[in-house]
Amino acid sequence: MRVGLLTGGGDVPGLNAAIRAVVKRGEGEHGHSIVGFRNGWRGVVDGDVMPLTRQHIRNVLPVGGTLLGTARYHPKASDGSLDAVMQTLEAERIEALICIGGDGTLHAASKVAEAGVKIVAIPKTIDNDVWGTDRSIGFDTAVTIATEAIDRVHTTAESHNRVMIVEVMGRHAGWIAVTSAIAGGAEVVLTPEEPFDIDKVIRFLKHRHRAHASFSIVVVAEGAVPAEGTSMSYEAPVGKFGEIVAGAIGERVKAEIEQRTGFDTRVTVLGHVQRGGIPTPEDRILGSRFGVAAIDAITRGESGVMTALRGEDVVLTPLTEIAGKVKHVPASLIQVAQALA
Ligand code: F6P
């Protein structure tokens, strides 16, 4: 069988582990030919293909990013790009497609599957907000990086008696913020799940600094917003491509804290550092497990499904059930972070 493979959306560490697993298992065990599409759905629309053999995946396991390249681009029926997808798949004699991506890529995969293409998807995003799976590839590495950053900021916060704000990624969900705040022992965590009341944050910091501490760590997810009707005004700015403007909420919270407490405050915006570099063993293992599960599913003739981690098991879940939904951080996990503040 000729099987196409693409990685779409923002890159994450662990993608190469998934690519490697698809190629090794697909070529070795099942005797398939694997064809890579460069730069996500863009490569399918443009017919930008590359062969993927064992030679191409040598030594890629510890390497971050994606050897296929990626793009934030999704084909649509309205501009003819969905037709272009079908033409390329026919021209390249692709019998099935494996798509590795986050919400946008998976949504497009669901549409292409509806059009009759055999598709199995694999979830990846450092935000860990893909519905239907306990974990997505890249999350563990991002939390590891964010936790290390909090540890490092801790010592300098203490030395200088400062409030340190650490802004982490997470547009729609605060998974990185909450888990790294717990792991790094932060005092305050602000998430998209629970719009915050800055008055409460200020009261808490003043009390803490009066009672027993001279420094504090505040972790802010980039998608955090103040609750309606509270005293802080904030209109989240949007970038040229519709992206969140890194540092915006962090700087806004800093201004408020400094003005209302007088505490010396600094902001560290982790940004794309969270998406770069060496994947953790956890992400290499998850990428490998999802890759094997995806190519095995394709071989069995499955379609319109996504590999998902549920507890200890990798299962398949229908793509139609996950597209357009956000997996939020449960209140019980946010409460742990708050209980330890
Ligand atoms: O979707 C994952 C994510 O890491 C978000 O948390 C973040 O807002 C976005 O990607 C940044 O994307 P880009 O690389 O396009 O700037």
Taking only the tens place, the pLDDT of each residue in 41-59 is 999 999 999 999 999 999 9
127 is catalytic: yes
Taking only the tens place, the pLDDT of each residue in 119-159 is 999 999 999 999 999 999 999 999 999 999 999 999 999 99
Q: With contact defined as beta carbons under 8 Å apart, do 50 and 38 qualify?
A: yes
**Is residue 335 one of the residues assigned to a domain?**
no
**Is residue 105 one of the residues assigned to a domain?**
yes
User: What was the pLDDT predicted at 95?
Assistant: 97
Is there an atom of ligand 1 within 6 Å of 24 CB? no
Tell me the CA–centroid distance for residue 291 and ligand 1, in Å.
Answer: 23
Atom of ligand 1 nearest to the CA of 169: 6
Is there an atom of ligand 1 within 6 Å of 250 CB? no
Residue of 290, 304, 171, 188 whose CA lies nearest to 241: 171
Alpha carbons 334 and 189: distance in angstroms, whole number = 8
Q: Specify whether 161 is located in the same domain as 124.
A: no
188 annotated ligand binder: no
Q: Specify whether 56 is located in the same domain as 178.
A: no
Is there an atom of ligand 1 within 6 Å of 243 CB? yes
Is there an atom of ligand 1 within 6 Å of 103 CB? no
**Is residue 205 one of the residues assigned to a domain?**
yes
Last residue within a domain, chosen from 221, 242, 276? 276
Q: With contact defined as beta carbons under 8 Å apart, do 84 and 34 qualify?
A: no
Tell me the CA–centroid distance for residue 10 and ligand 1, in Å.
Answer: 6
160 annotated ligand binder: no
Write the residue with the smallest CA distance to atom 10 of ligand 1: 10
The tokens for 175 are: 């998974």
Residue of 169, 176, 221, 175 whose CA lies nearest to 195: 221
Atom of ligand 1 nearest to the CA of 241: 15
**Is residue 334 one of the residues assigned to a domain?**
no
* Residues in contact with 132: Cβ distance below 8 Å, sequence separation at least 6, in sequence order: 123, 306, 308, 317, 321, 322, 325, 327
**Is residue 329 one of the residues assigned to a domain?**
no
**Is residue 338 one of the residues assigned to a domain?**
no
Q: With contact defined as beta carbons under 8 Å apart, do 303 and 38 qualify?
A: no
**ipTM greater than 0.85:** yes
Q: Specify whether 160 is located in the same domain as 264.
A: yes
Alpha carbons 7 and 69: distance in angstroms, whole number = 7
Residue labelled with tokens 């379609």: 303
**Is residue 112 one of the residues assigned to a domain?**
yes
Alpha carbons 20 and 17: distance in angstroms, whole number = 5
Q: Specify whether 47 is located in the same domain as 122.
A: yes
Residue 77 confidence (pLDDT) above 90: no
Is there an atom of ligand 1 within 6 Å of 163 CB? no
**Is residue 336 one of the residues assigned to a domain?**
no
127 annotated ligand binder: yes
Is there an atom of ligand 1 within 6 Å of 14 CB? no
Domain extent for 224: 141-276
* Residues in contact with 240: Cβ distance below 8 Å, sequence separation at least 6, in sequence order: none
Q: Specify whether 239 is located in the same domain as 126.
A: no
Q: Specify whether 70 is located in the same domain as 174.
A: no
Residue of 298, 329, 311 whose CA lies nearest to 179: 329
Last residue within a domain, chosen from 220, 247, 276? 276
Name the domain count of the chain: 2
Q: Specify whether 70 is located in the same domain as 23.
A: yes
The tokens for 250 are: 């962090």
The partner residues of 34 in beta bridges, in order of sequence, read 3, 52
Q: Specify whether 191 is located in the same domain as 294.
A: no
Residue 228: which CATH number?
A: 3.40.50.460
User: What was the pLDDT predicted at 98?
Assistant: 98
Write the residue with the smallest CA distance to atom 8 of ligand 1: 171
Q: With contact defined as beta carbons under 8 Å apart, do 174 and 221 qualify?
A: yes
Q: Specify whether 266 is located in the same domain as 152.
A: yes
Residue 102: which CATH number?
A: 3.40.50.450
Element of type H or E holding 52:
strand 49-52
* Average pLDDT rounded to a whole number, residues 238-246: 91
The tokens for 123 are: 């979830």
User: What was the pLDDT predicted at 323?
Assistant: 80
Atom of ligand 1 nearest to the CA of 11: 14
Q: Specify whether 115 is located in the same domain as 189.
A: no
Alpha carbons 199 and 220: distance in angstroms, whole number = 16
Last residue within a domain, chosen from 276, 296, 331? 276
Q: With contact defined as beta carbons under 8 Å apart, do 187 and 337 qualify?
A: no
Q: At 150, phi and psi to the nearest 5?
A: -65, -45
Q: The pTM is what? A: 0.97
Q: With contact defined as beta carbons under 8 Å apart, do 115 and 86 qualify?
A: yes
Q: Specify whether 80 is located in the same domain as 164.
A: no
Q: Specify whether 283 is located in the same domain as 134.
A: yes
User: What was the pLDDT predicted at 324?
Assistant: 83
Tell me the CA–centroid distance for residue 125 and ligand 1, in Å.
Answer: 9
10 annotated ligand binder: yes
